[in-house]
Amino acid sequence: MIATLKKLFGVGPAVDLGALIANGATIVDVRTSGEYASGHIKGSLNIPLAALGSQMSKLKKDKPVITCCASGMRSSSAKAMLKSNGFTEVHNGGSWYNLKKFEK
């Protein structure tokens, strides 16, 4: 049961998100454009979750991707969508506000 929950929510071994960001990982904020406009991480891409399926071509499959949203739920869904479409290194960054500490 716990393993299933961890897999569902993308929880696993700790990943150094700061190092990934420093090395050029793409941050994809899947909140709505209105939410994004109210605050976001500089340099992040805003691709609302509802539009992710049609806008995946904006992302490179061979480059690390970190998804984020308001709480981590939509970014978890986004991670699953990207993984099921051939993206190999995708990480759920959770809340955009928690990732803000890594902002350049």
User: Residue 97, SS3?
Assistant: helix
Mean pLDDT of 3-20: 67
Residue 32: closest CA among 57, 9, 51, 59: 51
State yes or no: is 69 an active-site residue. Answer: yes
Domains of the chain: 24-102 (3.40.250.10)
H or E segment at 73? helix 73-84
Question: In this structure, what token pair is assigned to residue 15?
Answer: 């990943």
Task: Calculate what percentage of the chain has a pLDDT beyond 90.
Answer: 82
Note the pLDDT tens digit of each residue in 61-81: 999 999 999 999 999 999 999
CA distances from 72 to 8, 23, 50 (A): 12, 22, 15
pLDDT tens figures, 35-63: 999 999 999 999 999 999 999 999 999 99
pLDDT for the residue numbered 9:
57
- Among residues 17, 25, 66, 69, the one annotated as catalytic is 69
| Burial class of residue 84, CB neighbours in 10 A (0-12, 13-18, 19+) | exposed
pLDDT over 60 at 26, yes or no: yes
Per-residue pLDDT at 15: 86
Q: Residues 91-98: what's their mean pLDDT?
A: 94
